[in-house]
């Protein structure tokens, strides 16, 4: 009988479901890392919220562990690459606590607008300071959303009901979806300049870490009020403290902190600062939702192999899996390539299969393309929720099977329409197993898509490769492989290089300044 450990506070519904499905379950919360390491080897499944940190060390000791289930959305407390390399499936419950978290953001916005926590403390201290607490209305004010996914779009809906004007910065938001939501899509700088309130709703990724940096906080309108119910690392907390003290920021409410649990912080005690201990998802309703979902998903997986909401594994039947696996890897890499090269609002994605690929179930291939495309912006996207997210964002998907001869035995082509027009990439499988890029934006280039890479579009002129090699060499960046393609002699050329380490920003700037360079982007493939 499989054994599951519930290591964070969770609705009793979870344990009830495990037992009802014939799974042995222990509920042990508040374990230290060492205590968890000592016992984790006994379990096949681990059900967590945000307190348990599933680190490399924990996974190394988890010799029987097959699945980790996060009763919630963010999985930044799980080392997903380490779990993947150990063959441990990581699942989350993407929608169960979204409404609750959105409501918490709105509650904190009101707490700031009317200084409710300080007014409450003062009144209960017998002070009756009626003149001290002058608030602001939210009606007709501008709410700036950073991140307009599930939670951000619910916040938008509630804020529109409060008669606020809502603007949103989210690279994945298409103008059509923004219009449908009733919000105005803006750049980050426009949002900072226009918002009276800002609410953050992105995951914590390399592109969102410190998004409200000191520099960006200073670009906000004086008197800005900021709510963060997403993740701690999104705001520079030291700068936030200084700018609250100086009065540039009129109020800030944090549900999440860079270091949690946040038992001390320079922000504590600052006037107009409100905090809650990561309570965004803490309602009866949300906790029941996520507990039921996580227990059902883990039970299905442990008892039948069924995969739902996995972040590191496609959802597949046992028969299809071996044949589709290399196509999924190819599809995800092609999706990731276009996603990394063009981050602007995606309107449609067309997936074409030819040759042997035309005989396969195209759905998992499509899901893998979408997961690769969208994972650039959110690490919670998986092959299961990617098609749903695409539908929600009103991205049109077309799947086309070509029954015609091709130069390759099997071919997958992905065309994405963005604000910048259509972009097509294509790839094949070498030996029907090894993913290989064959075409990028109309130019034939054969390359592996793996690890750190550099993509360059340049004028096809003599001397360029030498200059590029020198720039990389002087920065200590070693070239692994080098792939070249061009539209026509002397026209536009494409270079794809695999490099042994990530390209630093400063080097990328130098490369962009080389004569003849039109585009230079650093890419990363997992």
Ligand X SMILES: O=C(O)CCC(=O)C(=O)O
Interface positions, 179-238, toward ligand NAI (CB under 6 A) = 201-203, 205, 207-208, 229-231
Name the nearest CA neighbour of 102 among 280, 290, 283: 280
- Please name the residue ranges forming H helices in 397-443: none
Name the nearest CA neighbour of 507 among 179, 19, 497: 497
d(CA 260, CA 74): 14
Catalytic residue among 16, 118, 260, 446: 260
Catalytic residue among 70, 225, 231, 423: 231
Select the residue interacting with ligand NAI from 144, 152, 345, 435 (CB under 6 A).
152
380 is a site residue for ligand NAI (CB under 6 A): yes
CA distance to 52, 62, 265, 278, 413, per residue, from 261 (Å): 11, 25, 10, 9, 47
417 catalytically annotated: no
Q: Which range binds ligand NAI by CB under 6 A, 78-86, 141-149, 435-443, 475-483?
A: 141-149
83 contact choice in ligand X, ligand NAI, none (CB below 5 to 8 Å, kind-dependent): none
Token code pair at residue 235: 């705001």
377 contact choice in ligand X, ligand NAI, none (CB below 5 to 8 Å, kind-dependent): ligand NAI
CA 355 to centroid of chain Cα atoms: 34
149 is a site residue for ligand NAI (CB under 6 A): yes
Residues making contact with ligand X (CB under 6 A):
49-50, 72-74, 97, 278, 280-282
408 contact choice in ligand X, ligand NAI, none (CB below 5 to 8 Å, kind-dependent): none
231 catalytically annotated: yes
342 is a site residue for ligand NAI (CB under 6 A): no
Quick one: CA dihedral 176, 178, 182, 184, positive or negative?
Answer: negative
Q: In sequence order, which residues have a C-beta less than 8 Å from that of residue 138 and are 6 or more positions away?
A: 109, 110, 113, 159, 162, 163, 164, 197
d(CA 58, CA 357): 40
Token code pair at residue 319: 């028969």
**Least distance in angstroms from the C-beta of 104 to ligand NAI:** 7
498 contact choice in ligand NAI, ligand X, none (CB below 5 to 8 Å, kind-dependent): none
Q: Which residues of 205-215 are buried (b: 16+ CB within 10 A; e: fewer)?
A: beebeebbeee
**Least distance in angstroms from the C-beta of 96 to ligand X:** 8
Interface positions, 74-103, toward ligand NAI (CB under 6 A) = 74, 97-98, 101
404 catalytically annotated: no
Contacts with ligand NAI by CB under 6 A lie at 72-74, 97-98, 101, 146-152, 169-172, 201-203, 205, 207-208, 229-231, 255-256, 278, 280-281, 377-378, 380
Catalytic machinery residues? 231, 260, 278
């Amino acid at each position: 009988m499989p054994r599951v450990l519930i290591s964070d506070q969770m609705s009793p519904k979870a344990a009830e479901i495990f037992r009802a499905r014939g799974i042995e379950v222990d509920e042990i919360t508040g374990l230290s890392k060492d205590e968890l390491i000592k016992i984790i080897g006994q379990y096949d499944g681990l059900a967590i919220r945000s307190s348990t940190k599933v680190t490399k060390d924990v996974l190394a000791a988890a010799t029987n562990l097959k699945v980790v289930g996060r009763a919630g959305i963010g999985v930044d407390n799980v080392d997903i690459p380490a779990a993947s390399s150990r063959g441990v499936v990581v699942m989350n419950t993407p929608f169960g606590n979204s409404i609750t978290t959105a409501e918490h953001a709105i509650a904190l916005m009101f707490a700031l607008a009317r200084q409710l926590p300080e007014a409450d403390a003062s009144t209960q201290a017998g002070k009756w300071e009626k003149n001290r607490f002058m608030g602001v209305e939210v009606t007709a004010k501008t709410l700036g959303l950073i991140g307009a996914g599930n939670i951000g779009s619910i916040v938008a809906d509630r804020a529109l009901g409060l008669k606020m004007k809502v603007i949103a910065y989210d690279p994945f938001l298409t103008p059509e979806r923004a219009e449908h939501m009733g919000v105005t899509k803006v750049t980050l700088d426009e949002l900072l300049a226009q918002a009276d309130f800002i609410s953050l709703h992105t995951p914590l990724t390399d592109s969102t870490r410190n998004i409200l940096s000191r520099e960006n906080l200073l670009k906000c309108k004086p008197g800005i009020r900021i709510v963060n119910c997403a993740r701690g690392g999104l705001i520079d907390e030291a700068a936030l403290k200084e700018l609250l003290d100086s009065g540039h920021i009129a109020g800030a409410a944090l549900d999440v902190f860079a270091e949690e649990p946040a038992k001390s912080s320079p922000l504590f005690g600052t006037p107009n600062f409100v905090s809650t201990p990561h309570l965004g998802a803490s309602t009866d309703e949300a906790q029941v939702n996520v507990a039921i979902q996580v227990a059902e998903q883990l039970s299905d997986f442990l008892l039948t192999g069924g995969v739902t909401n996995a972040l590191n594994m496609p959802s597949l039947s046992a028969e299809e899996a071996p044949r589709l696996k290399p196509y999924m890897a190819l599809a995800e890499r092609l999706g990731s390539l276009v996603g990394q090269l063009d981050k602007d609002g995606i309107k449609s994605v067309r997936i074409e299969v030819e040759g042997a690929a035309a005989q396969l179930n195209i759905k998992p291939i499509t899901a893998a393309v979408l997961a690769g495309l969208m994972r650039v912006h959110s690490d919670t996207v998986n092959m299961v929720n990617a098609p749903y997210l695409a539908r929600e964002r009103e991205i049109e998907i077309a799947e086309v099977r070509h029954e015609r001869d091709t130069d390759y035995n099997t071919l997958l082509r992905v065309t994405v329409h963005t604000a910048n027009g259509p972009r097509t990439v294509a790839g094949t499988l070498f030996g029907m197993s090894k993913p290989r890029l064959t075409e990028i934006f109309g130019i034939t280039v054969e390359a592996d898509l793996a690890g750190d890479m550099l993509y360059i579009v340049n004028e096809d002129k003599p001397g360029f490769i030498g200059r590029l090699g020198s720039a990389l060499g002087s920065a200590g960046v070693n070239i692994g492989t080098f792939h070249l393609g061009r539209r026509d002699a002397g026209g536009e050329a494409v270079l794809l290089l695999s490099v042994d380490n990530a390209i630093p920003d400063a080097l990328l700037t130098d490369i962009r300044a080389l004569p003849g360079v039109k585009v230079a982007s650093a890419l990363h493939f997992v």
